[in-house]
Amino acid sequence: MKAKYIVVEGLEGAGKTSAIDILSQTLSRLGVNQLKCVREPGGTPLAESIRQLVKHHQDPTDPMTEMSECLLMYAARSQLVNNVIRPQLAEGIWVIGDRHDLSSRAYQGGGRQLSGMVDNISTLVLGDFKPDLTVYLDIEPSVGLQRAQARGQLDRIEQESLAFFERTRDRYVTLVEADPQAVFIDANQPLKEVQQQVIKVVEQQFEQWQC
Ligand code: T5A
């Protein structure tokens, strides 16, 4: 079977980290023994520097514009896709991504209301490259933000208004509904149940890939 690219998406605190753990364990049980996990923004030295900027840049004399934020997300994605993800897949190594293009479409497209710009840049940067499967963990923004808050200080994006995260979630849901390779999981449930659903989705999808 050709190596696959699987992405986990969702708002802050949706439970992506634990979903990725269970996803890796499930794939390994199913016989996938060459697997790499990456995160966005990040995953290469240059993309990790961009991650630091987009999450923590705070300068009232030179605030990050919405357009710069969007361009930086795609600069980081271009580094990761071309220098890591494509080469790994070509070598037969499966890749699990903590976020990908759907994040830009939801946060910058929905949250920042830059959807026209995001569509154009996405086409330029990615062409027809897309994940084989996207697992979207849907969570009430207020619940996700409470979980993020419990972890410590909020970063630049986490300090956005609830309305921003509501718009982001709405866009996520619309995009996931329109994508036949994306699966919706209710992440407001207890962790154990979310994990069971992730396992089920991966097992079913794996079976289809084998056909
Ligand atoms: N961004 C990113 C954009 O705006 N555009 C883009 O194109 C991209 C790629 C990245 C930021 O950049 C933005 C989005 C983000 O704001 P990040 O740190 O990578 O930042 O992403 P976060 O979503 O902020 O990461 P989090 O760690 O907050 O989210 P997770 O991984 O979904 O949450 P997780 O698994 O760490 O869980 C958080 C806590 O909740 C608990 C966990 O145990 C943990 O303590 N939890 C649950 N508790 C109860 N019930 C459940 N079902 C639970 N699931 C998890």
Mutate to test the pocket of ligand 1, among 51, 107, 147, 194 (most ligand atoms within 8 A of CB): 147
pLDDT at 189: 94
- Which pLDDT score is estimated for 140? 97
- Ligand 1 within 6 A of CB of 10: yes
For the chain, what is the domain count? 1
pLDDT at residue 151, rounded to an integer: 85
Residue 84 belongs to a domain with what CATH number? 3.40.50.300
The pLDDT score that the predictor gives to residue 152 is 86
Mutation choice for ligand 1 from 8, 9, 17, CB with most ligand atoms inside 8 A: 17
Q: Which residues of the chain have pLDDT under 70?
A: none
Whether residue 80 contacts residue 39, with contact meaning beta carbons closer than 8 Å, is answered with no
Tell me the residue range of the domain where 53 lies: 5-210
Ligand 1 lined by 165 (C-beta under 6 Å) = no
Q: What pLDDT score does 211 carry?
A: 87
List b or e across 61-100, with b for residues whose CB sees 16 or more CB atoms inside 10 angstroms. eeeeeeeebbbbbbbbbbbbbeebbeebbeeebbbbbbbb
pLDDT at residue 116, rounded to an integer? 96
